[in-house]
Amino acid sequence: MPTALITGATSGLGAAFARRMAADGFSLVLVSRDEQRLSESADQLKLRYGVDAEVLPADLATEEGLARVESRVADGVDLLVNNAGFGHPGRFLEVPVEDEVRMLKVHCEAVLRLTLAALPGMRERDRGAIVNVASVAAFFPRGTYSASKAWVVNFSESAASDVGNPRIKIMALCPGFVRTEFHQRASMDTSGIPGFLWLKADDVVRETMRDLALGKRVSVPDLRYKAIVAIGRLVPRGLQARVSSSIGR
């Protein structure tokens, strides 16, 4: 039975990935900071899908937590979903530097190290997949969050090219606004976001897995966001920054 390790697995996209992979018959390794919630999620998945669900409490912003997950990934996983992440409610100059560094550790260092930990085993088995969750924000200037997600996209494409094996898939997932706890946890005001821009987590995961099977290196789920990204490439960067910084604060 194949194994999927998912970070940020107790809510939002992480929970949707866990449900999808459990339905597909994967054994699960669920990673999150909240041990109680992690255990509850694992119990529900075991009961509903009859799969093994291992819990791995860890804070990826700490060296101890990241090293613990890194070690488990190195033991062997067939699918790695680097989903853990968070946002800040303030603009760049309003956020304490220690909070910015914490974001970079989770969004960039954890993705780098866990990807590198997974690849030796995947190359030995000649199969495997890694999904690194970025964001549509990666294509627009918006402080450290968008910068870190742009790094995830570039890194994922570069890693896929370097591995050069179609049986080992590495893909950056770039969703738009998804109905999750993300914005609430970051104390962001989402009242100005039009209703038609919101996506459902399960729909995003379904498109993600389709794009992964097709061998895509970057996935932008939903035609609305594909259009936004395409149009955004034609807009001057200065205007992009002004519009982007005013949405979802």
Catalytic residue positions, numbered: 145, 149
Q: CA 119, CA 169: separation in Å to the nearest integer?
A: 10
Q: Considering only CA atoms, which of 77, 70, 68 is closest in space to residue 4?
A: 77
Return the structure tokens found at 61.
């912003």
186 burial (CB, 10 Å; 0-12 / 13-18 / 19+) is middle
Return the structure tokens found at 203.
């729909």
Q: Are 97 and 52 in contact (CB under 8 A)?
A: no
Mutual orientation of helices 143-163 and 110-125 as an angle, nearest 10°? 20
Return the structure tokens found at 97.
């530097």
CA atoms in the 13 A half-sphere facing the CB of 76: 8
Residue tagged 């690194």 (tokens): 132
SS3 198: coil
SS3 57: strand
Phi, psi of 235 (to 5 degrees): -90, 140
Q: CA 163, CA 212: separation in Å to the nearest integer?
A: 16
Return the structure tokens found at 81.
């979903």
